[in-house]
Amino acid sequence: MDVLLLGKNGQVGHELRRAVQPLGAVTAAGRAEVDLTQPEQIRLAVRETRPDVVINAAAYTAVDQAEEEPSLARSVNVEGPRVLAEASRNI
């Protein structure tokens, strides 16, 4: 089984990476590799890995700062996952 895991550098992503490794090949990416504000990076990651399973552990979690940067928070927490779901459906 091929797994694409986004958010590898966070606490949840780090633990998920360890947990899913026994399942098969894991491609883990952080923001440097797949930025959720960049739809084409998301689509490319899905096309290149053709995963059986996609796990999104990436998120904009700075609550106070999100109030000052609502567009960025929405892009990471809403639009990025939407593009990820659409790209995953099309593989």
**Taking 90 as the threshold, does the pLDDT of residue 90 lie above it?**
no
Report how far apart the first and last C-alpha atoms of the chain are (Å, whole number): 15
Q: What is the reported pLDDT for 34?
A: 98
pLDDT in tens, 4-31: 999 999 999 999 999 999 999 999 999 9
**Taking 90 as the threshold, does the pLDDT of residue 80 lie above it?**
yes
SS3 content of the chain, % helix, strand, coil (to 5): 55, 15, 30
